[in-house]
Amino acid sequence: MLKFLAKRLSATIVVLVLVSVSVFMIFSFLPIDPARLTCGKGCSPTVIEANRHRLGLDVPVQVQYGRFVKGIFVGRTYGEGAARLECPAPAFGYSFNKHECVTQLVGEAFPITFSLAIGAFILWLLLGISLGIVAARRQGKWQDKTATAFVLVGISLPTFVSGILILILVLKLGWINPIDMGRWVSPFTNPVGWLKNFIFPWITLALIFAATYTRFTRANVIETSSEDYIRTARAKGLSEGVILRKHTLRAALAPIVTIAGLDFAGLLGGAIITEQIYNLPGLGRLSLQAVLIDYDLPTILATTLLAATFYVVANLVVDILYAYIDPRVRVG
C-alpha cells in the first residue's frame, strides 16, 4: 500500500507542476497588457511602464513563473519604497482592481464555496445512494417507480430553473429573509444561521446530482446482484442484509467513489449558478466577476489554478479510496 501511495503522490506532484506551468503560460501569452488594465484611459506610457515593473512583468516569462511559485511558499513583494505591497504566503498575486492580495480574496470566498459544496455533497450522496439501493431491491414496485420519477425530474430540470423555483417558494413562504441572503456566518459561531443560509442552496445543487447517483447506484446494485459470488453467498445461507452490506455494496459503490470525488472537486472550483441565484459570494462568483467585470487577471489565474488543483487532489483521494475498496487496484 505504501508503494502505491508513493507512486500516486509522485504522479500528483508532477501533474500539479505541469498544470501550474500550463495555466501560467496561457495567461502570460494572452494578447492583453495587465499593466494597462491597472490604470485609467488617460494612462501615459511612463505610468504603464511603472505598473509593469511593479507587477513584475518586465522580466522574462520563466522568471515571472519562478517568482510566482516562490510567492506561493514564502510570500511576495510588489513595488518598491512607499508603494511597496506585501502579500504573505501563499501569494497568488495582487489584485489592483480590488487593491487586495488575491489570497485574501480567495480566503474570503473559499469558506462559502466549501460550505455549499460539502453540504450538497453529503445530501446528494445520502439521498442518491439510498434511493438507488431501495429502487434496486424493489425492482418494478412503487418504490422503484417513485425513484425513476425522481430521476427524470431531477435530470430534466436545469440547476438555474430548480434554484429559481425553490427561491421563489421559500421567499413566498417567508422561510428565509432576503436581507440575510449571501451573508456569511460561521458554522462554529452561529450554526443555525449557517444552516438557514445554505439549506436551500444545498437542495438546489443536490437535486440534479442525487438524481444521477440514484440511477447509477440502482444500475450498479442490480448488475452486482446477478454476479456468481452473490449467488454463492445466498446458497451458503447468508441473509440479504449481510450480502448487501459486505458484498453487493462494496462492489457496486466502488465506481461511485470516482465520480463522487470529481463532482465534489468541481463544486469546490465554484458552483457559479447556485452562488448567483442565492447571492453567495463564493469562488464561482469571484471568478465570474473577475472575468466579466473587472478583467482581473491575477484573480482569474488564481481561481483557475485552484480549480485545477482541486481536480488533481480529488483524483489522488479517489485513487486511495479505490485501492482501499478494491485491493486489486494496488497491484502494479
Domain-wise residue ranges, the chain: 109-284
Q: Is pLDDT of 201 > 80?
A: yes
pLDDT at 42: 65
What kind of architecture, by CATH, is found in domain 109-284? Orthogonal Bundle (1.10)
Buried b (16+ CB within 10 A) or exposed e, 77-95: ebbeeeeeeebeebbbbbb
Amino acid at 249: L
Q: Which residues pair with 86 in a beta bridge?
A: 77
Decide if pLDDT at 331 tops 60: no
Q: Does pLDDT of 23 surpass 90?
A: no
Spatial separation of the C-alpha atoms in residues 129 and 8, rounded to whole Å: 28
> For residue 60, what is the DSSP state?
-
Phi, psi of 78 (to 5 degrees): -120, 130
Q: Is residue 272 within 8 Å of 260, Cβ to Cβ?
A: no
pLDDT of residue 317: 83
Spatial separation of the C-alpha atoms in residues 133 and 257, rounded to whole Å:
16
Q: What is the pLDDT of residue 309?
A: 87
pLDDT at 213: 92
Cell numbers of 86, please?
Answer: 506585501
Running DSSP on this structure, what letter comes out for residue 33? -
Least confident of 28-32, 194-198, 262-266: 28-32
Strands 76-78 and 94-95: unpaired
User: pLDDT-derived band of residue 1, with 50, 70 and 90 as boundaries?
Assistant: low
**Does residue 25 register a pLDDT over 90?**
no
Least confident of 140-154, 191-205, 305-319: 305-319
For residues 276 and 299, the answer to whether their CB atoms sit within 8 Å is no
Average pLDDT over residues 107-133: 91
**pLDDT for 145:** 92
Q: What is the pLDDT of residue 120?
A: 92
Pick the residue with more confidence: 122 or 229? 122
SS3 state of residue 85: strand
pLDDT of residue 32: 74
- Give the amino acid at 238: L
Question: Would you say residue 278 has pLDDT above 80?
Answer: yes
Residues 282 and 274: their CA atoms lie apart, in Å, by 10
Q: What CA–CA distance (Å, rounded) separates 253 from 199?
A: 26
Express each pLDDT in 125-162 by its tens digit. Answer: 999 999 999 998 888 899 999 999 999 988 888 888 88
Query: Residues near 300 by Cβ (< 8 Å), separated by ≥ 6?
Result: 27, 287, 290, 291
Transcribe 262-291 into DSSP letters.
HHHHHHHT--HHHHHHTT--SHHHHHHHII
CA–CA separation, 275 and 255 (whole Å): 29
Write down the residue that cell numbers 503560460 correspond to. 25
Q: Specify which of 48-57, 72-81, 151-160, 311-320 reaches the highest per-range mean pLDDT.
A: 151-160
Cell of 277: 441565484
**How is residue 174 written as a grid cell?**
417567508
Helices and strands (H and E) in the chain: how many: 15, 4
pLDDT the model gives residue 20: 87
Average pLDDT over the chain reads: 84
Band of residue 9 on the pLDDT scale cut at 50, 70, 90: confident
Distance CA 176, CA 194 (A): 12
